[in-house]
């Protein structure tokens, strides 16, 4: 037996109107040891239809204008509520969706808290609890099996508690499933503000932390796979190569390297042959001299650099010469053999990393192309300047390596001390790196998973950026759109957290399966959610601008119904480094 509180008096489509008894507006009631919540907005009631209990949620209430008097002394009003069916209990099991509708005169009853819990938490044997329902204060177990097998979006204005929700979600996962996960899954966090570089999420034995820093050399560097770096699309986008001239030039650089890959002497012979060709060409080019000096500087060949400084170009004679001895470089190679040949033979490339190798190979390719008349110097020279400018920062944060240690469960990549250019570039390179490695090694169906977590995702997934080349922005968005559209087939999932969901590509937002929506007040953000999330009902949507800190609307394909959840606060030692400043403590008088 439960508490009867009224009866159905009207049914309009899926809207049900009930007449409620006068004494049913208590906040909390107890009956036979069970706790019940009274009839109010967003509370749940059951309507008995035959042997089934139809569950309805209260969406509104009012007093009927009609009234009657008794003995002319007292006026009585009829309290009515409007409710919407959301599912039904059949043989004690809750089924979501409208299959049965109440009829007039059907009786309405309050629902016990245990029944409400069963609506949202099906499996009590494997509880995954990160919080409780805001109004009912009932702990809710989330379906972790379906949740982490999907793309997740956590949205909310700054200070709304989204960082705590992100951290709580994965902290509980690692606390409960750490031993089961083993080496079957790998988690990567792109941390723009350095919020997860201490004791958050999991113990130090299970995570690798990379502090990338473009301000100081000698810090941590991300081990990027060589195939991701020596890639035409990557290099073209990185250095904004034009389609008709500079992109084909980069393609020749890459193919030249591939042709002799694995031969340690090939680059050295290529350098020596290019030096000879530059000074013995039938039609030498003056631009090649500065390119050769740049190569000597990168190779730290001081004797060669000193020798090249003595060489000049004679404009009228269209030849190189040494001013001191007035020796001319001819195509017969005699001058080259006597002056430069021995010095060039002494150079080495043993300590040359891939980033410097790119500059060297680009200079060598341009020298060859100029000698043979394939390109105009002024068409390629801007590309080389962009390469040299970008590599000064890239060298501090990236190491090209084919050896990768993914043995630890979690990799945290902090971009806090990177400049704005690298904060755009690195997430693309890192995402490509992990996506392609995982895609090429995973079995079908996937025998392991990859989980990419991007905090402050609007930094790299925005369509509103005006500080970068259009082709670069398009390529970056296309990559992440491919991952979020195709990654699920290969067991790769993305979790996004952002203050401004409207700034993120609509294609990406539309592919997210499950949402944790904290307070959002901007009309563009609300409009995006309104047009993207099909599982968000009108009542839940209306709560978003006024949600308290730490509260969120949880909805998506893993949940039968939207719910308002108050996420539990993490212990201070495990919270992300994103706490608000306590001005009272900061400005307190020192005693």
Q: State pLDDT tens for residues 128-171.
A: 888 888 877 788 888 888 889 999 999 999 888 888 999 999 99
Give 11's Cβ-side CA count (13 Å radius): 14
Angle of CA points 311, 314, 317, to nearest 5°: 135
The single residue listed with the structure tokens 């390119």 is: 291
Q: Where is average pLDDT lowest: 118-132, 191-205, 450-464, 546-560? A: 118-132
State both tokens at 21.
Answer: 């008894």
Q: Where is average pLDDT lowest: 406-410, 446-450, 511-515? A: 406-410
Instruction: Kindly state whether residue 380 falls inside one of the protein's structural domains.
Output: yes
Q: Which of 171, 263, 131 is nearest to 548 (CA)?
A: 131
Instruction: Kindly state whether residue 138 falls inside one of the protein's structural domains.
Output: no
Q: Is 173 in the same domain as 289?
A: no
Count up the domains in the chain and report the number. 3
Instruction: Kindly state whether residue 590 falls inside one of the protein's structural domains.
Output: no
Measured CA to CA, the distance from residue 57 to residue 75 in angstroms comes to: 29
Structure confidence at residue 518 as a pLDDT band (50, 70, 90): very high
Structure confidence at residue 68 as a pLDDT band (50, 70, 90): low
Q: Which of 361, 443, 358 is nearest to 392 (CA)?
A: 358
Decide which of 398, 429, 448 is a domain's last residue. 398
Q: Where is average pLDDT lowest: 90-99, 206-215, 500-509? A: 90-99
Q: Is 283 in the same domain as 158?
A: no
Q: Is 235 in the same domain as 206?
A: no
Q: Is 471 in the same domain as 580?
A: yes
Contact 58, 45 (CB under 8 A): yes
Q: Which of 500, 550, 564 is nearest to 529 (CA)?
A: 500
Measured CA to CA, the distance from residue 285 to residue 400 in angstroms comes to: 33
Q: Which of 311, 270, 276, 273 is nearest to 290 (CA)?
A: 311
Contact 195, 576 (CB under 8 A): yes
Give 470's Cβ-side CA count (13 Å radius): 1
Q: Is 232 in the same domain as 217?
A: no
Q: Is 317 in the same domain as 370?
A: yes
Structure confidence at residue 189 as a pLDDT band (50, 70, 90): very high
Question: Does the structure show a pLDDT above 70 at 66?
Answer: no
Burial class (CB within 10 angstroms; exposed 0-12, middle 13-18, buried 19+) of 204: exposed
Q: Is 385 in the same domain as 419?
A: no
Contact 222, 212 (CB under 8 A): yes
Measured CA to CA, the distance from residue 299 to residue 303 in angstroms comes to: 11
So what's the pLDDT on residue 39?
81
Q: Is 365 in the same domain as 321?
A: yes
Measured CA to CA, the distance from residue 591 to residue 343 in angstroms comes to: 71
Q: Is 502 in the same domain as 381?
A: no
Q: Is residue 490 classed as helix, strand or coil in its secondary structure? A: helix
Instruction: Kindly state whether residue 435 falls inside one of the protein's structural domains.
Output: yes
Question: Does the structure show a pLDDT above 80 at 271?
Answer: yes
Q: Is 359 in the same domain as 272?
A: yes
Q: Where is average pLDDT lowest: 61-65, 99-103, 283-287? A: 61-65
Contact 567, 167 (CB under 8 A): no
Q: Is 212 in the same domain as 236?
A: no
Instruction: Kindly state whether residue 133 falls inside one of the protein's structural domains.
Output: no
Model confidence pLDDT, tens digit, residues 279-298: 888 888 889 889 988 988 88
Instruction: Kindly state whether residue 551 falls inside one of the protein's structural domains.
Output: yes
Model confidence pLDDT, tens digit, residues 327-372: 888 888 888 888 888 888 888 887 788 888 888 999 999 999 999 8
Instruction: Kindly state whether residue 135 falls inside one of the protein's structural domains.
Output: no
Please list, in sequence order, all residues whose beta carbon lies within 8 angstroms of the beta carbon of residue 23, skipping any fewer than 6 positions away. none
Measured CA to CA, the distance from residue 88 to residue 106 in angstroms comes to: 15
So what's the pLDDT on residue 187?
92
Decide which of 363, 398, 433 is a domain's last residue. 398
Measured CA to CA, the distance from residue 15 to residue 101 in angstroms comes to: 9
Average of per-residue pLDDT across 413-423: 87
The range of the structural domain enclosing residue 94 comes to 4-120
Measured CA to CA, the distance from residue 582 to residue 569 in angstroms comes to: 17
Q: Which of 268, 244, 264 is nearest to 364 (CA)?
A: 268
Q: Which of 583, 512, 535, 542 is nearest to 97 (CA)?
A: 535
Decide which of 398, 432, 454 is a domain's last residue. 398
Contact 457, 498 (CB under 8 A): yes
Burial class (CB within 10 angstroms; exposed 0-12, middle 13-18, buried 19+) of 516: buried
So what's the pLDDT on residue 155?
93
Q: Is 505 in the same domain as 467?
A: yes
Instruction: Kindly state whether residue 132 falls inside one of the protein's structural domains.
Output: no
CATH number of the domain at 561, please: 3.40.50.300
């Amino acid at each position: 037996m439960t508490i009867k509180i009224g009866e159905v008096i009207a049914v309009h489509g899926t809207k049900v109107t009930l007449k409620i008894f006068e004494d049913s507006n208590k906040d909390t009631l107890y009956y036979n040891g069970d706790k019940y919540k009274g009839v109010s907005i967003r509370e749940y009631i059951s309507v008995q239809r035959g042997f089934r209990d139809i569950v309805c949620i209260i969406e509104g209430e009012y007093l009927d204008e009609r009234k009657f008097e008794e003995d002319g002394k007292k006026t009585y009003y009829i309290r009515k509520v409007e409710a919407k069916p959301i599912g039904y209990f059949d043989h004690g099991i809750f089924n979501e969706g409208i299959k049965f509708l109440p009829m007039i005169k059907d009786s309405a009853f309050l629902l016990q808290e245990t029944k409400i819990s069963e609506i949202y938490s099906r499996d009590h044997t494997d509880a995954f609890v990160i919080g409780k329902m805001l109004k009912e204060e009932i702990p809710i177990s989330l379906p972790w099996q379906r949740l982490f097998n999907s793309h997740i979006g956590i949205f909310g204005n700054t200070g709304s508690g989204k960082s705590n929700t992100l951290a709580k979600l994965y902290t509980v996962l690692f606390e409960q499933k750490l031993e089961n996960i083993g080496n079957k899954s790998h988690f990567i966090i792109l941390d723009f503000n350095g919020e997860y570089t201490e004791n958050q999420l999991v113990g130090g034995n299970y995570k690798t932390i990379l502090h990338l820093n473009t301000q100081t050399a000698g810090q941590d560097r991300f081990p990027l796979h060589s195939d991701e770096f020596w890639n035409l699309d990557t290099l073209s986008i990185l250095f904004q190569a034009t389609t008709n001239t500079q992109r084909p030039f980069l393609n020749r650089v890459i193919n030249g390297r591939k042709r002799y890959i694995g031969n340690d002497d090939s680059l050295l012979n290529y350098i020596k042959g290019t030096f000879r060709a530059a000074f013995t060409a039938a039609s030498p080019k003056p631009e090649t001299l500065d390119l050769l000096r740049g190569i000597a500087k990168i190779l730290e060949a001081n004797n060669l650099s000193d020798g090249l400084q003595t060489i000049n170009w004679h404009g009228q004679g269209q030849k190189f010469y040494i001013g001191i001895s007035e020796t001319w470089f001819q195509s017969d190679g005699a001058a080259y053999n006597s002056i430069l040949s021995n010095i060039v033979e002494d150079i080495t490339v043993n300590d040359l990393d891939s980033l410097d190798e790119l500059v060297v190979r680009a200079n060598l390719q341009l020298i060859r192309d100029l000698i043979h008349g394939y390109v105009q110097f002024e068409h390629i020279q801007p590309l080389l300047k962009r390469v040299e400018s970008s590599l000064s920062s890239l060298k501090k944060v990236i190491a090209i390596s084919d050896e990768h240690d993914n043995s630890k469960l979690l990799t945290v990549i902090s971009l806090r001390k990177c400049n704005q250019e690298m904060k755009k570039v690195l997430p693309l390179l890192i995402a490509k790196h992990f996506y392609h490695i995982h895609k090429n090694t995973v079995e079908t169906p996937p025998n392991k998973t990859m989980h990419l977590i991007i905090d402050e995702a609007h930094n790299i997934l925005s369509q509103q950026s005006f500080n970068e080349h259009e082709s670069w922005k398009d390529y970056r968005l296309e990559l992440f759109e491919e991952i979020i559209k195709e990654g699920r087939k290969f067991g790769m999932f993305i979790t996004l957290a952002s203050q401004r969901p409207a700034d993120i590509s609509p294609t990406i937002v539309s592919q997210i399966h499950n949402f944790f929506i904290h307070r959002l007040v901007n009309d563009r953000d609300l409009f995006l959610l309104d047009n993207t999330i099909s599982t968000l009902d009108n009542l839940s949507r209306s709560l978003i601008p006024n949600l308290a800190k730490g509260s969120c609307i949880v909805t998506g394909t893993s949940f039968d119904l939207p719910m308002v959840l108050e996420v539990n606060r993490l212990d201070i030692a495990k919270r992300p480094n994103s706490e608000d400043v306590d001005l009272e403590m900061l400005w307190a008088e020192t005693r």
